[in-house]
Amino acid sequence: MKIGLFIPCYVDALYPEVGVSTFKLLRSLGLTVEYPESQTCCGQPMGNAGFERLAEPLAEKFDTIFAGYDYVVAPSVSCAAYVRNFHPDILGRKGHQCQAAGKTMDLVEFLHDVVRVESLPSRFPHRVSVHNSCHGVRELGLSSPSERNVPRFSKIIDLLRLVDGIEVVEPERPDECCGFGGMFSVEETAVSARMGLDKVKRHMATGAEYVTGPDSACLMHLQGVASKHQLPIKFIHLAQILASGL
């Protein structure tokens, strides 16, 4: 099984340690992992902002870059969801059948559903509050959406339970949006910041030392809000916890 590592642009630039943890984690599971260096961005920021046509060449390039891999794995739910749910339409309009969509996965679902990890050598002796990113919950199905009458599950919590010494909690309103939403946060600054502050406070109310989640974009937003208000809580990507000790 050959895996193409997809490290989204903002992770590349701002959170390279998340990429490193993802790589180490996948390699420790005996998988062949490559990082195609010509990759940049999946086009989601432009699409969500209303400029999907600007995402066309990026979607095309993405399909070519990852053509030779069995799976494309990314430590970022909204980027994985964009490739899976939007690239087929974007490329379809140009008469091109998207190949990447069917094999692109977020790290959590890949570990949970494909590799089916049952143990990890990691240790993280802290109380951690889970941040359920909207696109993870409602596009990729990482956990049961609170709106729906479906059996309760969380692939994120399943994976975190494999970590030694960890205490996992969830905030009130466990899957309410944190208010990032890409360029939503620069266009609707007041609402976005209010949503972020409410979310940080709910995470803090759990008594957690860390907030963790499968998407660094939400965490970046929450971190920015928390530091603006000098709120003492730390943020860490799920991959870093799962890879702790590697």
Partner 1 sequence: MSTIHAKRAEEYLHDEAVALRHDATFFGVRQKRDRMAQALPEWEQLRDAASQIKKHTVTHLADYLEQFAANAEGHGVHVHWAQDADEYNAIVYDILSSHNVKKVVKSKSMLTEECHLNEHLEAKGIDVVETDLGERILQLMKLAPSHIVMPALHVHREEIGDCFREKGLMENLKSQDNPTQVPSDPNDPTFLTFVARLHLREQFAQADAGMTGANFGVAETGDVVVCTNEGNADMSTSIPRLHIVSMGIEKLIPDLRSLAVFQRLLARCGTGQETTVYTSHFRGPRPGGEMHIVLVDNGRSSILADPEHWQTLKCMRCGACMNTCPVYRRSAGYSYTYFIPGPIGINLGMLRDAKRYADNVSACSLCMSCDNVCPVQVDLSTQIYRWRQRLDGLGRANAMKKLMSRGMTILFNHPALYTTTLRFSPAANWLPSALMNSALNPWARGHLMMKFPKKSFHQLWKELEKESRNQ
Q: Which of residues 39-98 bind partner 1 (CB under 8 A)?
A: 39-41, 43, 45-54, 57-58, 61
- Name the minimum Å distance from CB 184 to partner 1: 5
With CB under 8 A as the contact rule, which of the stretches 96-104, 115-123, 153-161, 194-202 interacts with partner 1?
Answer: 194-202
Region of 25 please: left (phi>0), alpha (psi -120 to 50) or beta.
alpha
Sheet of 127-130, strands arranged across: 167-169, 127-130, 210-213, 234-237
| Least Å from the CB of residue 125 to partner 1 | 26
**Choice from 94, 191, 205, 207 touching partner 1 (CB under 8 A):** 191
- Are 156 and 143 contacting, i.e. CB atoms less than 8 angstroms apart? yes
Nearer to partner 1, 118 or 147 (CB): 147
Shortest CB 205 distance to partner 1, Å? 14
In the three-class reduction of DSSP (H, G, I as helix; E, B as strand; rest coil), residue 64 is classed as helix
User: Coil, strand or helix: which one is 132?
Assistant: coil
x/- map, 149-178, partner 1, by CB under 8 A: xx----------------------x-xxx-
Among 3, 4, 19, 214, binds partner 1 (CB under 8 A): 19
What are 69's two structure tokens? Answer: 């891999």
Q: Which helix (H) or strand (E) holds 236?
A: strand 234-237
| Among residues 1, 14, 67, 205, the one that binds partner 1 under rule CB under 8 A | 14
Helix (H, G, I), strand (E, B) or coil at 153: coil
Going by C-alpha positions, the residue among 157, 145, 135, 150 that lies closest to residue 74 is: 135
Q: Where in 123-142 is the site for partner 1 (CB under 8 A)?
A: 134-135, 138-139
Does position 228 interact with partner 1 (CB under 8 A)? The reply is yes
Binding status of residue 184 toward partner 1 by CB under 8 A: yes
Interface with partner 1 by CB under 8 A: which range of 66-74, 105-113, 146-154, 157-165? 146-154
Q: Quick check: 73 and 107 in contact, CB under 8 A? A: yes
Is residue 147 at the binding interface for partner 1, with CB under 8 A as the rule? yes
Dist CA 221 CA 213 (whole Å): 12
Give the residue with the Cβ less far from partner 1, 153 or 227: 227
Burial of 243 (0-12, 13-18, 19+ CB in 10 A): buried
Neighbouring-strand partners of residue 234: 210
Among the listed residues 23, 69, 110, 210, the single contact to partner 1 using CB under 8 A: 23
Is 213 one of the binding residues for partner 1 (CB under 8 A)?
A: no
Report if residue 143 touches partner 1, rule: CB under 8 A: no
